[in-house]
Every structure is written in C-alpha cells, then in structure tokens.
C-alpha cells in the first residue's frame, strides 16, 4: 500500500516527464530522420558505386580483349597485304629486268644492229659519192650545153646584125664604117660582113632554129658527144610517171567542201562551247561599269563628219563657234 501511495504521488511528475520527453522526441524527429536518410544515401551510394566500378572493370576487360583481338586481326591483314605488295613489287621488278634484257637483245640484234648499220652507212656513203659524182657530171654537161646555146644565140644575133648592116661593107673606092684607115686591122664586123649575104626583102627576118649552124668561125666546131646514152639524174621511174598520168581526177578543196562549211564549223564550235559552259550568261566585268556615263569622244580621233587620222585635226577646224567675229587664217 505504501508503494501504491508513493506511486500515486509520483503520477504528476511522470506525466510531466512524459510530456517533456515527447516534446524532445518531436523536436529531434526531423533531424534524426534527415540523419537516417543521409546515412542510407551514403550507404546506398557506396554500394552502387562499388557495383558500377565492378561493371566498369568487367567492361574494360571485355573491351580490352575485343580490341586486342581486332588489332591482331587488322595487323595480320596488314602484314598479309604488305607481304603481297612486296611479292608483287619483286615480281614486277624481275619482270622488268627480264623485259629489259630481252628488248635490249632484240633491239641490238634485229633493229639497231651495229655492224649491219655500219655496213649500211658505208654502202650509203659509197652510193652518195657515186650519185654526187654523176650529178656533178650532169651539172657540168648542162652548163656546157647552156654555154653552147648562148654562144650559138649570140653568133646568130651577130649573123643577123651583119645581114642587116651589109650595106656598110667596104669597097675598093671607099672604106666602110668598120674598116677605118686609122686602125691597123679591120674590125670583126667588117670580116663578118664580107662572109654573109645581104637580106633580099625589107620584111622582118624569120627566126631560125637554134641548131642551124651560121656561116662563121663557130660552124667548124663539132658538138661533143653526150656523156651517157640515157639521161642521168634524180628522175622518177617510167611506171610511176604513167600512174601519175593515168590517175583519176581529184576535186579541189573548193569543190570537195560545201559552200557553207565555214558557217557549219562555227555552229559546231558554238554547240560544243554551249555543251561545256557552266552558265549561259558570260561574265562581263567592265561592260556596264558606268551605265549613266555618256561616251566622251576623243578630240583627235572624232569629228561631226567622219573619223580622221591622228594629227590631221586642229582646234580651228573643230571649234569654229569660238572664232565668231575673229579673223581666221586657215
């Protein structure tokens, strides 16, 4: 009973302590909850980070293994390619060597044979000397023939002149013009006049053949026989000349081409230029630089009548309005 009475005496203090403790617990509840949440978040963060690090280590191992395998495969492929290229380069080099040796042997043996070429050049030099000698003989013969023809023509002219001047021949009573008494001997024309006959008519003399020998000192000269029976020189063969004569007619350029060939060619050039052109409007940088500026004609190259040459115009000829009432001297 005493304890019960004592307990009843402490009820008020117990209530007061209960209220104090409840008030303290209510005051610390939010702080303890925040602390618990913080502890849980730290623990869960550590747990998740540990799991992620484990996953990262495993992923790194997988990536390392795969990349090593891929690199080894790529390196093996590169080694195979490099080895193949090396073998191909070696084979190409050996093939070039073989081709070089074979082509050199073939060229030296069949195309540019030194001894064959030497024999050919020696034979060609001999042939050239022979042809040159024959050409010199032909040129000498032609020169002598031209000189002979010139001498015959000159002799013929002198003969005709002597026939025309036959009336100047000397007589026993009177010496002629070409037989002056002051000369020790008569002139050549005097001797020629004594051997020719005078012209019978007053008409113009007929032309004589060049091969006719005049009656003079050259008539006794004998012609030299020809050096060769056949003409010598760089003449074409008879068959080639015959083919040249019998070949069909070839139309000229004017007949073979069309009359509008030039226009057609220009049109074709325009079509080709349009085909390769990127833009249809050509770039004209200075054509419209000053659209509102009028053209100023030059003073020395322009006039109201016509264009004149440089240096032919003067101020008095161009500006006559400034000279009104003044004396103008033109």
> Are 190 and 110 in contact, with CB atoms under 8 Å apart?
no
**252 domain residue, yes or no:** no
Q: Which positions ≥6 away from 320 have C-beta within 8 Å? A: 328
In a domain, 237, yes or no: no
Return d(Cα 325, Cα 111) in angstroms, integer. 97
How much is the average pLDDT of 184-207? 74
Do the domain assignments include residue 23?
yes
> Which tokens go with 123?
């034979």
Query: Are residues 186 and 120 part of one domain?
Result: yes
Instruction: Say what the pLDDT of residue 36 is.
Output: 92
CA distance 193 to 169: 6
Indicate if 53 and 119 belong to the same structural domain. no
CB 178 within 8 A of CB 190: yes
Same domain membership, residue 76 and residue 119: no
Q: Do residues 75 and 146 share a domain? A: no
**Which has the higher per-residue pLDDT, 328 or 248?**
248
Domain that holds residue 141: 115-198
Instruction: Tell which of 164, 198, 232 closes a domain.
Output: 198
Q: Indicate whether 80 and 135 sit together in one domain.
A: no
Q: Where are the beta strands (DSSP E) in the chain?
A: none
Using CA atoms, how far apart are residues 96 and 104, in angstroms rounded to an integer?
A: 12
Give residue 251's pLDDT: 72
**pLDDT, mean over the chain:** 78
For the segment 227-246, the average pLDDT, to the nearest whole number, is 71
The CA–CA distances, whole Å, from 240 to 163, 235, 248 equal: 50, 10, 14
Same domain, yes or no, for 184 and 125?
A: yes
Q: Please report whether residue 289 resides in a domain.
A: no
> Could you tell me the pLDDT band of residue 208, with boundaries at 50, 70 and 90?
low
Q: What sign does the dihedral 117-119-122-125 (CA atoms) show?
A: negative
Of 135, 165, 198, the position where a domain reaches its end is 198
Kindly state whether residue 50 falls inside one of the protein's structural domains.
yes
Count the neighbouring beta carbons within 10 Å of the beta carbon of residue 156. 19
Please check the confidence at residue 296 and state whether its pLDDT lies above 50: yes
149: in domain: yes
Whether residues 133 and 186 share a domain: the answer is yes
Q: What is the pLDDT averaged over residues 131-153? A: 94
Q: What is the per-residue pLDDT for 194?
A: 85
Tell me the whole-structure pTM to 2 decimals: 0.29
Distance of CA 318 to CAs 120, 298, 325, Å?
A: 82, 12, 16
Instruction: Find the mean pLDDT for residues 72-93.
Output: 95
Residue with the bigger pLDDT between 205 and 271: it is 271
Say if 206 falls within a structural domain. Answer: no
The yes-or-no verdict on residue 12 having pLDDT over 60 is yes
Q: Which of 166, 267, 149, 137 is nearest to 212 (CA)?
A: 149
- Assign 188 a pLDDT band (cuts: 50, 70, 90): confident
Asked if residue 330 has pLDDT above 50, the reply is no
Last residue of a domain, one of 198, 224, 248: 198
Domain co-membership, 139 together with 182: yes
Among left, alpha and beta (phi > 0; psi -120 to 50; other), residue 283 is: beta
> What is the domain count for the chain?
2
In a domain, 156, yes or no: yes
Whether residue 74 is found in the same domain as residue 140: no
- Top mean-pLDDT range of 51-55, 213-217, 252-256: 51-55
Q: Give the sign of the dihedral formed by CA 114, CA 117, CA 118, CA 119.
A: positive
Alpha carbon distance 328, 262 (integer Å): 56
């Amino acid at each position: 009973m005493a304890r019960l009475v004592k307990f009843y005496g402490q009820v008020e203090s117990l209530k007061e302590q209960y209220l104090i403790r409840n008030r303290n617990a209510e005051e610390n509840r939010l702080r303890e909850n925040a602390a618990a949440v913080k502890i849980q978040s730290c623990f869960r963060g550590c747990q998740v980070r540990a799991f992620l690090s484990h996953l990262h280590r495993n992923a790194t191992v997988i990536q390392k293994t795969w990349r090593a395998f891929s690199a080894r495969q790529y390196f093996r492929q590169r080694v195979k390619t490099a080895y193949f290229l090396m073998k191909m380069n070696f084979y190409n080099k050996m093939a070039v060597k073989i081709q070089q040796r074979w082509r050199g042997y073939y060229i030296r043996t069949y195309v540019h044979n030194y001894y064959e070429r030497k024999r050919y050049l020696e034979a060609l030099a001999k042939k050239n000397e022979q042809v040159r000698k024959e050409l010199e003989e032909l040129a000498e013969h032609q020169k002598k023939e031209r000189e002979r023809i010139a001498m015959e023509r000159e002799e013929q002219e002198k003969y005709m002149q002597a026939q025309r001047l036959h009336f100047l021949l000397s007589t026993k009573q009177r010496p002629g013009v070409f037989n002056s008494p002051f000369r020790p001997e008569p002139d050549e024309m005097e001797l020629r006049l004594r051997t020719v006959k005078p012209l019978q008519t007053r008409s113009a003399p007929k032309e004589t053949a060049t091969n006719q020998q005049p009656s003079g000192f050259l008539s006794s000269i004998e012609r030299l026989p020809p050096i060769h029976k056949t003409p010598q020189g760089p003449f074409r063969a008879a068959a080639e000349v015959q083919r040249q004569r019998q070949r069909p007619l070839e139309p000229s350029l004017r007949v073979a081409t069309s009359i509008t060939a030039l226009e057609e060619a220009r049109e074709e050039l325009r079509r080709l230029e349009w085909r390769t052109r990127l833009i249809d409007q050509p770039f004209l940088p200075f054509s419209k630089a000053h659209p509102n500026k009028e053209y100023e004609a030059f003073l020395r190259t322009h006039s109201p009548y016509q264009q004149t040459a440089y240096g032919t115009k003067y101020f008095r000829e161009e500006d006559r309005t400034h000279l009104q009432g003044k004396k103008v001297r033109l």
